[in-house]
Amino acid sequence: MATDGGRSRRGRAYIIGGTILAVAAFLAAAGVASFPYLFQSQSGTNVVVARNEITARTKIQAGDLTLRVINPAPPESFTNISAVAGKGARVDIPAGAAVTANLIATSSDLLSSTDITYLPIPSGYVAVTIPTNEQLGVGGYVQVGDRIAVLASINTSAFGANPGQVAVRTVFKDLYVVRVGPATSEASGPTVTSSLTVIVTACDSEFIDWLLTNAQLKYELESFHDYSTTPTTPDSQCPKLTSAAGVGPKQVDARWHFSAS
């Protein structure tokens, strides 16, 4: 009986030892098989990804981007943030997604010949394009982000004065310039162009249209020390696009008193 007991104990030891060896062999095989994947997770290419969500048709800032190791690197990805910053987003780009060439426009202003990034127009305001040239537009020195004042020269006969005389008034101050020239223009410095696009209320846009038709306009480039902050909320005097109620000589003269000259 003692002999049978010894054999039984040795049998169990063999079974336990065999099991341990089998488990060890399995773990070793699994480790060898997963080694390439473990290695890959520690290597790859630093590519540009969105640090935060980037909204479609907005200008991409350097702060919106970061670098992240991705393996394999997506096709048409970028390895340098400066290659993406300043471009326009064609679609919404989620945070953490790789920014690839098909997701962005090559210009911050142009997504295609007919697909243009949204202009920075605050709620309650509109963008208006006014004509310019070298003499009217301060020799081409007006650039995006500048503020301009508008001078209007008009004969007071337009308001019923007889005889009429020429009167000049500063009709607008601190107009925010959001574009210089047409959408296809990509000039990087001062240039003589044919138009300026400015931000105004819907009510002021009617006054500008009347003055463009009936007066001669010239622009003054303001000192950057005098710039006011860009509006972020609607103007209390004209809070909605529907606030515009129409403009004629009476409204223009009441506002700027041309006939009082």
| pLDDT top residue among 214 and 109 | 214
Residues 142, 251 within the same domain:
yes
Give the range of the structural domain holding residue 82, as residue numbers without chain letter. 45-105
> What pLDDT does 193 receive?
80
Total domains, the chain: 2
Count of beta carbons in the 10 Å neighbourhood of residue 108: 17
Query: Where a domain ends, among 74, 105, 136?
Result: 105
Residues 66, 130 within the same domain:
no
For residue 18, being part of any structural domain is answered with no
For residue 160, being part of any structural domain is answered with yes
pLDDT at 114 over 50: no
Instruction: Tell which residue, 93, 90, 92, 120, has the closest CA to residue 107.
Output: 90
pLDDT digits (tens, 9 = 90+) for 149-196: 999 999 999 998 888 899 999 999 999 998 888 765 554 455 678 899
For residue 15, being part of any structural domain is answered with no
For residue 32, being part of any structural domain is answered with no
- Average pLDDT over the chain reads 82
For residue 80, being part of any structural domain is answered with yes
> What pLDDT does 59 receive?
84
CA-derived radius of gyration, the chain = 34
Residues 129, 226 within the same domain:
yes
Query: Where a domain ends, among 71, 105, 139?
Result: 105
> What pLDDT does 133 receive?
85
Q: What is the CATH number of the domain that holds 65?
A: 3.90.1210.10
Contacts of 202 (CB under 8 A, 6+ apart): 124, 125, 126, 238, 240, 241, 242, 243, 244
Query: Where a domain ends, among 37, 72, 105?
Result: 105
For the purposes of burial, counting CB atoms within 10 Å of the CB of 25, is it exposed (0-12), middle (13-18) or buried (19 or more)?
Answer: exposed
Residues 82, 151 within the same domain:
no
pLDDT at 1 over 70: no
> What pLDDT does 21 receive?
67
Residues 89, 135 within the same domain:
no
Residues 204, 100 within the same domain:
no
Residues 242, 153 within the same domain:
yes
Residues 55, 137 within the same domain:
no
Residue 44's pLDDT band (boundaries 50, 70, 90)?
confident
Residues 50, 94 within the same domain:
yes
pLDDT at 113 over 50: no
pLDDT at 221 over 80: yes
Three-class HEC string of the chain:
CHHHHHHHHHHHHHHHHHHHHHHHHHHHHHHHHHHHHHHHHCCCEEEEEECCCECCCCECCHHHEEEEEECCCCCCECCCHHHCCCCEECCCECCCCECEHHHEECCCCECCCCCECCCCCCCCEEEEEEECCCCCCHHHCCCCCCEEEEEEEEEHHHHCCCCCCEEEEEEEEEEEEEEECCCCCCCCCCCCCCEEEEEEEHHHHHHHHHHHHHCEEEEEECCHHHCCCCCCCCECCECCHHHCCCCCHHHHHHHHCHHHC
Residues 61, 146 within the same domain:
no
Strand-pairing partners, residue 195, are: 131
> What pLDDT does 65 receive?
94
pLDDT digits (tens, 9 = 90+) for 67-105: 999 988 899 899 999 999 988 887 789 999 999 988 887
Residues 68, 152 within the same domain:
no
For residue 19, being part of any structural domain is answered with no
Lowest average pLDDT, out of 40-49, 85-94, 121-130, goes to 40-49
Measured distance between the N- and C-terminal CA atoms of the chain, rounded to whole angstroms: 133
Residues 164, 234 within the same domain:
yes
For residue 16, being part of any structural domain is answered with no
Whole-prediction pTM value? Answer: 0.58
For residue 239, being part of any structural domain is answered with yes
